[in-house]
Structure 1
């Protein structure tokens, strides 16, 4: 269906692709992986024709329809979510818009003099709409939006009034409703809660077209893709299987390449030593020349490319008492909406609570109450006397000072630390070389999240309160964070929609439901086994 043949592409001074080739066939579900900046979005844009390769060609079979979801959703104001989603479905959306205009004209007293004409036109439009299966399309659009977490009110409301994350969901719904021959999805799992993520997973499993996608959610990728294409140093390499299988294959290939490289280096060293030793002796001239020619002809084995992964190790957190946080008879409401009514909850030392609940259940509110960022209407929230807390909230990234560099921000917070430890800290969180001189205002969402995390963990608290800490983080950084936090000896309370993160780090589950709270001893994996569901909103 889609072929990239010997693609060459340069962005500024960066060589993105060098003689790279790959194919996407009907029925294939491919995960596109590679470090940030490797060229994943550039590849999508070349397939859709938004960018051209400098060399080689991109071939798309005639008649193949492509749906491309990117993080840049544009302006959507003035339409309902349903209308915006149906807009991607071709001619039927034009007829729906025409019907909406005619309906408005019928309700307008100033148009009464031409009512017969309007009604006739409306009848014709309605007939075309039925022929195009428009009423079924409206139902399908609502079904997709419902799967992505929209209420009926949000479906019929103005998209322009929605937050950026919800607009992303509308843009994604548009591609899903379109059901093109090939879907290109750039981070579709961003901005989705766990219920929506699991719904999307099922939708894509049942999709029979070709799929090429990126995702920072390894569990999501594992369950959908049957092939991985890796971008590494300008080349494209295909691996059959899911993400986990790719990781195993990549590790084996790296090991074999390293062994081959070392064998060749040993052989070359012997040959060069012989040449150096005997090059001045006439009696060995023929042998020396023969070996020089042999060396010239050898295809040199490169060592495996090393992806930069630096492990972060915690300094020991100060010890605190057994009772870390106690909530007693807490009531909390926003306007007429009650979040908690008489909540009792206790967190004890070294417990790792993951908080589960559907949108609006009060997950972030609970973290804010514990962190002191919000007060209960009635009741008490008490932290133990020796508790030192670190709180990661989404708005924390907005508090970074735009004109300060990454390194200056670290120095401002830890003036006594010295340059070497701070540079090591920056390196652990993905800021190496010149990247520590970047100003905070130009950092991406992922870079800001990493910097805030570094500030919080350098001088570790004994209570970590984390609200979606993995948003914006790539798979490698997430894994580094999981490995670091698994060694952490303090107490944790966190919200995340990343199932790998939940399973790796929790040893308690607090589930918020309309009927009240449920607690589960054991972590997220045990919770899934006991409830038979991966998220509370999926329970029938």
Structure 2
């Protein structure tokens, strides 16, 4: 259906692809992977025709419909959430608008355009029905509900939504349009776990082709059946899910390294012979023969080794055994009660995952624990010798836009030597020239890493983390999980990433309209106990 053949592309001195090729077939579900800056977004723009290759061919049918979800949605305002969603429904949406205009004209029998309107109405209605237009609003409502919109939100002005909720509207528009090809750039970034689970099911059942980037490995494992990897200018395809891709990539890397080492051993042996006998006339012919042999050998390039990020914690001081005590806490916003008497005791070294549907009070609870919000009733107490590190999305906005990465770290810890802070920056994925990047140009993931670096450098013995993995790529998430696995402190966190929940949680607090409920054990044990992967789901997904 869409074929990229021998495509080369570069920006200035940066080469993205060299004679790269891949094929996206009808109905295929494909994951697009590669490091930041490798060219994933460029692939999307080549497919849509927004960019052209320097060389090679991008072949797509002329009448194919393509929906492209990207991370910049523009300024949505002036319509209800439902109307904005319907406006993106492609031909069916446009015809629906035209039908409304024609119906108004048909009410004016004296109009000179009445006859033309009658004729056009028949044509438009037939095509609208053919495209399933009469089901459009019902489908839009179902998609919006799946993405977490309540009926009140659906009827409200889209302009009043936060950036994250506007992203959901943009995603709903594209899903409603049902294009033959869906291009999805990080569609789960602003979704809660219930919406992610709904999207998984939607994409698995989707009749069209899907090409997606995604930092959620569970989504990749459950949706895609092929991985396309951008690797240093080359594009490679792997048949299977993300887990299969990682295994195959590891095998290929090990085989390549072994091949390289064998060649290096052979070359060393030949060079040693040449060096030993080059001055002897009796061996001149043999030496020349081996020199020519070495000149003809195609040298294997040294293996490219992926540098795993390592987050090294300073050892946290020991806290008291009772770390957080929440006693009968109540909190409401207007008439909406989000906590009606929540109580819990968090003990030293426990790792609590706080789960609940949208509006259940997860972030509110973390803010009250962190001291950023006062409960209406009840009390939150922090135990003896507890030092807290609190991470929330708003802290990324508090980074100083005009500072560089290293300047931000120096401002945070002015008495620490520069070498230590540069090492800290490197541990969180900022290498070389990245230290001098102005914060205003950092991506969401880079800002999250910098905010986490500042918090973890202080070695608190209590971490309160609100969606710490938002915007982090899979490699960075894996490094964070490894670091937290050896962290000698207490953690209370909210996350929509099931792999993170699975790796970190030792207890689960579920918030619901029936009140809080504590599940002792891991996230997997919670799933097994409840039969669902999240509070808003009826049963566990498979």
State the TM bucket, normalised to the shorter chain: over 0.9
- Contact 2:444/2:471, CA 8 A, preserved across alignment: yes
| Structure 2 residues without counterparts, runs of 5 or longer | none
Change over 3 Å in CA distance of 1:306–1:162 after alignment to 2: same
Task: Report the equivalent of 2:34.
Answer: 34
Q: 1:74-129 CA deviation, whole Å, 9 max, x = no partner?
A: 2332333333333333333223223555788999xxx99979969x7699388455
Q: What does 1:2-21 align with in structure 2 at a 5 Å threshold?
A: 2-21=2-21
Task: Report the equivalent of 1:96.
Answer: 96
Task: Report the equivalent of 2:308.
Answer: 309
Which stretch shows the higher mean deviation, 177-186 or 526-535? 177-186
Which stretch shows the higher mean deviation, 281-290 or 326-335? 281-290
**Matched residue SS, 1:416:** coil
Which stretch shows the higher mean deviation, 406-415 or 454-463? 406-415
Q: 1:365-386 CA deviation, whole Å, 9 max, x = no partner?
A: 0000000000001111111121
- Contact 1:102/1:122, CA 8 A, preserved across alignment: no
- Contact 2:29/2:225, CA 8 A, preserved across alignment: yes
Change over 3 Å in CA distance of 1:466–1:274 after alignment to 2: same
Change over 3 Å in CA distance of 1:123–1:183 after alignment to 2: closer
CA–CA distance in 1 between the matches of 2:11 and 2:245? 28
Task: Report the equivalent of 1:58.
Answer: 58
CA–CA distance in 1 between the matches of 2:99 and 2:239? 48
Task: Report the equivalent of 1:327.
Answer: 326
CA–CA distance in 1 between the matches of 2:166 and 2:402? 30
- Contact 2:106/2:118, CA 8 A, preserved across alignment: no
Change over 3 Å in CA distance of 1:18–1:349 after alignment to 2: same
Q: 1:371-427 CA deviation, whole Å, 9 max, x = no partner?
A: 000000111111112110000011101111122211111122222321222111111
1:151 equivalent to 2:150? Answer yes
- Contact 1:257/1:303, CA 8 A, preserved across alignment: no
CA–CA distance in 2 between the matches of 1:123 and 1:76? 31
Task: Report the equivalent of 2:491.
Answer: 492
| Structure 1 residues without counterparts, runs of 5 or longer | none
Task: Report the equivalent of 2:391.
Answer: 392
Q: CA deviation at 1:467?
A: 0.4
Q: 1:468-517 CA deviation, whole Å, 9 max, x = no partner?
A: 00001111101000000011111110000000000100000000000101
Q: CA deviation at 1:215?
A: 0.3
Q: 1:156-210 CA deviation, whole Å, 9 max, x = no partner?
A: 3332222211121122122222222221111111101100000000011111322
Change over 3 Å in CA distance of 1:133–1:245 after alignment to 2: closer
- Contact 1:352/1:508, CA 8 A, preserved across alignment: yes
1:281 equivalent to 2:272? Answer no
Task: Report the equivalent of 1:261.
Answer: 260
TM-score, length-scaled by structure 1: 0.94
CA–CA distance in 2 between the matches of 1:420 and 1:317? 21
Q: 1:314-350 CA deviation, whole Å, 9 max, x = no partner?
A: 2211111111111112111111111111221211111
TM-score, length-scaled by structure 2: 0.94
Q: CA deviation at 1:211?
A: 1.5
- Contact 2:462/2:490, CA 8 A, preserved across alignment: yes
- Contact 1:83/1:93, CA 8 A, preserved across alignment: no
1:466 equivalent to 2:465? Answer yes
CA–CA distance in 2 between the matches of 1:103 and 1:379? 59
Q: CA RMSD in A?
A: 2.4
CA–CA distance in 2 between the matches of 1:394 and 1:144? 26
Q: CA deviation at 1:15?
A: 0.7
1:297 equivalent to 2:300? Answer no
- Contact 2:106/2:114, CA 8 A, preserved across alignment: no
* Paired residues, number: 537
Task: Report the equivalent of 1:142.
Answer: 141
**Matched residue SS, 1:189:** coil
Q: What does 1:116-515 align with in structure 2 at a 5 Å threshold?
A: 124=121, 127=125, 129-130=128-129, 132-515=131-514
Q: CA deviation at 1:132?
A: 4.7
Q: 1:268-320 CA deviation, whole Å, 9 max, x = no partner?
A: 11112222233333332222222122112212112321122231222211111
Q: CA deviation at 1:19?
A: 1.4
CA–CA distance in 1 between the matches of 2:370 and 2:187? 31
Which stretch shows the higher mean deviation, 97-106 or 77-86? 97-106
